[in-house]
Structure 1
Amino acid sequence: MNHVPMGTVTEYLEGVSEANRRILERIVRIARELAPDAEEGVSYGMPALLVDGKGFLSVLETKKHLALYPFSGQILPEMSEELGGYSWSPGTLRFSADNPVPDSLVRRILETRLAAIRK
């Protein structure tokens, strides 16, 4: 049996409120489809999926919003037109259970990040 270190994605999601957990788990599922070799770990102090040892994705629940972190400051600015309905900064996409990120956009963000990691 694999030992899962403390603070990993699976463990973190177990502590998230149910409505938010479903949304965050869907994003993690997309990430695992795109990178089945991704490992759970920690990047920048956040539970994360890692690819080739680099941060690929973190999703967190905060008091005010949900957040997706692609561990890159270039991806979201390049997609700024598609992010119109969301609050974002170069390294963080903020959203809510009422206004989740569409799977197609999650997939594009993660495909772009994966390509950057694997260059």
Structure 2
Amino acid sequence: MAKTDFKSVDEYQDTFQGEKKERLQAIRQTIREAAPDAEEVISYQIPAYKHFGFLIYYSAAKNHISLSYPYSAALLAEFKTELSKYKMSKSALQLPDKEPLPLDLIKRIVQYRMKENELAAASKPSKK
């Protein structure tokens, strides 16, 4: 993947072929269904979705797809059992290419992140 000046999610995903592209599209569709009003953007040269702040990012790697999102202690506790099946770093969850995508889990994470962002936005003092 040589190109690094993506202007859209379509442009990003068009750099992939076959099953990898299909998996990326399935994740994109799942996010759009879970957060239909979220803004689709490119951030850090990967697809991202915003709703009162960033909800989730995703990107393709050689043997997996990474989901990145701001982790909160509450989110990690909520999905602890399901997340334990996957390799995680401080900023990403790795979904191995050889395993089915956990689309329901992705949907629920996005919905959880939406609620977190909405609550955070509601608790901010209004600007006068």
TM-score scaled by length of structure 2:
0.74
CA distance in 1, matches of 2:9, 2:106: 17
Once the two structures are TM-superposed, the CA of residue 44 in structure 1 deviates from its matched residue by 4.5
TM alignment of 1:97-108, pairs within 5 A: 97-108=97-108
Contact 1:48/1:55, CA 8 A, preserved across alignment: yes
Aligned pairs for 1:1-119 (under 5 A) are 6-52=6-52, 54-70=53-69, 72-74=70-72, 77-78=76-77, 79-119=79-119
Mark the CA change 1:7 to 1:63 in structure 2 (over 3 Å): closer, same or farther. Answer: farther
Q: How many correspondences in the alignment?
A: 113
- Displacement of 1:67 after TM fit? 0.5
Distance 1:11 1:30 in 2: 19
The structure-2 alpha-carbon separation of the partners of 1:17 and 1:85, relative to structure 1 and needing over 3 Å to count, comes to farther
Q: Distance in 1 between matches of 2:33 and 2:22?
A: 16
Q: TM-score, normalised by structure 1?
A: 0.78
Which segment is superposed worse, 96-105 or 38-47?
A: 38-47
- Whether the 8 Å contact between 2:8 and 2:41 is mirrored in structure 1 is yes
- Return 76-85 or 61-70, whichever deviates more: 76-85
Q: From the superposition, tell whether residues 103 and 47 of structure 1 become closer, same or farther in structure 2 (CA, over 3 Å).
A: closer
Which structure: larger Rg? 2
Percent sequence identity is: 28
Which ranges in structure 1 are unaligned for 5 or more consecutive residues?
none
Give ranges in structure 2 of 5+ residues lacking alignment. 120-128
Query: C-alpha displacement at 1:30, in angstroms?
Result: 1.3
The structural deviation recorded for 1:101 is 3.1
1:20, CA displacement in angstroms?
1.3
Map Cα deviations across residues 51-109 of structure 1 (whole Å, 9 max, x no partner). Answer: 23x22222111124210112x12165222211232101243110122113322211111
Q: CA deviation at 1:29?
A: 0.8
